[in-house]
Structure 1
Amino acid sequence: MGFLNLSKKGVVLAVSAQLVLATQAVTVAQADMLGTDAAINKYSAMANRDMLMDELQRGEIRDQIIDMGVDPAEAEARLAALTDDEINTILIQMENDSAGADIVGTLFTVFVILLVTDLLCFTRVFNFTRCVR
């Protein structure tokens, strides 16, 4: 019986030591306060990334990517590897470069062209202009 009690004590000590060491690694975690701005930025960055990924999944975009010789899976992997700042830069560039986005500038350009053609007697659109002839 002496040997059996001795081996039980050894096993109990080894298991106890293992449990103590295992719980020590878990209790080292630290918690910081998460501000509202940080939470909003985190979730907006995730939403921006998801929006770009959805755009990449569209049929027309996928066809254009394939026509350019790029594997769609590789494009998705590269998009997933971008940082939040790079995602924001891409979105700003997409916003600025979208076709027809500057409608006021387009209307002003059309107005100036029609005004000049009225002054040169090519058209008669505006009543307040006079021909230079």
Structure 2
Amino acid sequence: MGILNISKKGMAIALSAQLVLATQAVTLAQAEMLGTDAAISKYTALSNRAVLMDELQRGDVRDQIVAMGVDPVEAEARLAALSDAEVATILTQMENDSAGADILGILFTVFVVLLVTDLLCFTRFFNFTRCVR
């Protein structure tokens, strides 16, 4: 009976020590409120980075990168090393430089071309112009 009491006492001490250590580890964790802006900016940055990685994975883009002499693996590594602000700047630049994005500029150019051709008597598109002869 003496050994059984000693083992019970030892087991109780070991379990108590484990309980104390487990509760101490839990109290070390600190939680803080995460604002909506911080959460949105975090997920926006992740989304932006994913969009650029998807563009880099496209076949035509990858072929163009290889044609320029850049290793695609190195390009992915460099893209991963960019800051969130740089990724956002690249995406903004890609959106602004897309083909056909400047509709007003195209319409103005067409207007000027038609106006000049009307003035030179090649066409008769506008009623308010007179031929220069």
Q: Distance in 1 between matches of 2:44 and 2:76?
A: 19
SS at match of 1:113: helix
Which residue of structure 1 lines up, in the alignment, with residue 90 of structure 2?
A: 90
Task: Tell me the residue number matched to 2:114.
Answer: 114
Q: Which moved more, 1:85-94 or 1:109-118?
A: 109-118
Count the aligned residue pairs: 128
1:33 is matched with which residue? 33
Provide the residue aligned with 2:69 in structure 1.
69
CA deviation after TM superposition for structure 1 residue 52, in Å: 0.7
| SS class of match (2:104) | helix
Q: How does 1:2-81 map to 2 (within 5 A)?
A: 24=24, 27-81=27-81
TM-score, normalization: structure 2?
A: 0.79
Shift of 1:128: 2.7
C-alpha distance in 2, partners of 1:96/1:121?
Answer: 37
In 1: Cα distance, 2:87 partner to 2:96 partner: 14
Q: How does the TM-score come out when normalised to structure 1?
A: 0.79
- 5+ residue gaps, structure 1, are none
Which amino acid counterpart does residue 48 of structure 1 have in structure 2? N
Which region of structure 1 is more displaced relative to structure 2, 115-124 or 74-83? 115-124
Query: How far 1:36 sits from its partner (Å)?
Result: 1.2
Question: What is the deviation of 1:81?
Answer: 1.3
Deviation readout 1:19-63 (Å, 9 max, x if unpaired)? 856764553222111111111111111111111110100000000
